[in-house]
Amino acid sequence: MWNWKEVMAAPENCEEGGCQPQPAPPRLGREFLEDATPGTQTMNPPWSKLRSCLPLPTVCHLSSGSQKKAGCPKKLSQIPIRPEPSDPGPAAWGCPRGSVSCREGAADTWLRTQLAPGEVITAQSGAFERDPQESSTTDEELSRAGSPGSRGGSSSTTPDYGEKRLPQALIIGVKKGGTRALLEAIRAHPDVRAVGTEPHFFDRNYEKGLEWYRNVMPKTLEGQITMEKTPSYFVTNEAPRRIHSMAKDTKLIVVVRNPVTRAISDYTQTLSKKPEIPTFEVLAFKNRTLGLIDASWSAIRIGIYALHLENWLQYFPLSQILFVSGERLITDPAGEMAKVQDFLGLKRIVTEKHFYFNKTKGFPCLKKPEDSSAPRCLGKSKGRTHPKIDPDVIHRLRKFYKPFNVMFYQMTGQDFQWEQEESDK
């Protein structure tokens, strides 16, 4: 495992914005991502030049109801911003105004004290600004799902009895990696009950409390596994600690994909909703002449998997995290699902007989259940035609991601062969 603390030397102050070194977990900063030979935007060992000035992702807070950034360097204007959480308790438990870390720590303590048998956690209000590039469940949908007596988001194949439980397994990422395909496939297993929508509890709705989260879940019988998927958890700094606080034995599943094609797919989704946005080539670079990749752009930053994984490994052992190949989920869905079922301790019921390949969409579909008149395929948003990207930009992105991919392979003990995949094209 890479020890970022040993390879990164944080300066006392940084020229841009005068930021201070951040507490653990250590993060790859913008100086590292920029300090490379012009035209390559890549850096190889030795690691003596590593710096940590402006950590990624940088979170700039907003006061409630305000749209004005506070303390955000101008060059970080593209980084998604989220409002400061509303006070979850009386006077924020004595925390200084604006101290998010203090209030979140107090909130965690408060949540734990509410978990005595028979006690109910009061749902807290507090809205978080959405990343405009991510499509997810609306607040109204989650409000209905989380209301007392609601059935939650679940498959219709199991009668409405049992009880609602907190999830034992989570699909935590990555966005545009294949999480929806995995969720639909695992929901075909009779011993799995999963929420169809994305609760976003550990990133946007944490202050609503665990009882709200429990009510979003479907009812399960003894022996069934409750699951949910929210891809943004993987890149949310607070998510590992919060999930560990809920249940330290939670099993985590991460669907990963070649970060270059993932970034293009991410952009394609945004383009379908906002056709007026700049081109991929414009957004990908801070300075195209110098070859400086803009790693603050979320489409690029999400694909630095090693950076995000280091945060999770501070709370969960590698044995509790399963990495699923997004590419193999398309070419060999039964093979990847066998790994998922083994990881969850399930009998291998979802097999090759459950899938057929849809030539039109280019994705495998689940064969229709006996009580259904049609097969279950992914929605229209899947399999979009990607815009044509300048080959030189793709080449620069591959060089940018290569050292991070190598780190990720070493951290996970798995070689996803993304470099081999690119050389074959």
Whole-Å CA distances, 354 to 56, 263, 301, 360: 41, 30, 35, 18
Q: Which residue has the tokens 């408060």?
A: 110
Q: Which two tokens stand for residue 172?
A: 């935590």
Q: Is 376 labelled a binding residue?
A: no
- Could you say which of 176, 208, 219, 251 is catalytic? 176
Q: Is 176 annotated as a binding residue?
A: yes
404 contacts: CB under 8 Å, gap ≥ 6: 259, 303, 304, 305, 306, 307
Residue 81 C-alpha from the chain's centroid: 16
The answer to the question of whether 180 is labelled as a binding residue is yes
What gap in Å lies between CA 349 and CA 338, rounded to an integer? 9
Q: Is 176 a catalytic residue?
A: yes
Between CA 84 and CA 399, with CA 263 as vertex, the angle to 5 degrees is: 115
Separation of CA 406 from chain center: 20
Q: Quick count: other Cβ atoms within 10 Å of Cβ 227?
A: 24
**Residue 219 annotated as lining a ligand binding site:** no
Instruction: Compute the distance between CA of residue 70 and CA of residue 50 in angstroms, rounded to an integer.
Output: 27
The H or E element that residue 329 is part of is helix 326-331
- Say whether 257 counts as a known binding-site residue: yes
Q: What is the widest separation between alpha-carbon atoms in the chain?
A: 65
Residue 385 is labelled as binding a ligand: yes
Residue 151 in marked binding region: no
177 annotated ligand-binding residue: yes
Instruction: Detail the residues annotated as belonging to a binding site.
Output: 176-180, 257, 265, 382-386
- Annotated binding-site residue numbers for 3'-phosphoadenylyl sulfate: 176-180, 257, 265, 382-386
Annotated catalytic sites, by residue? 176
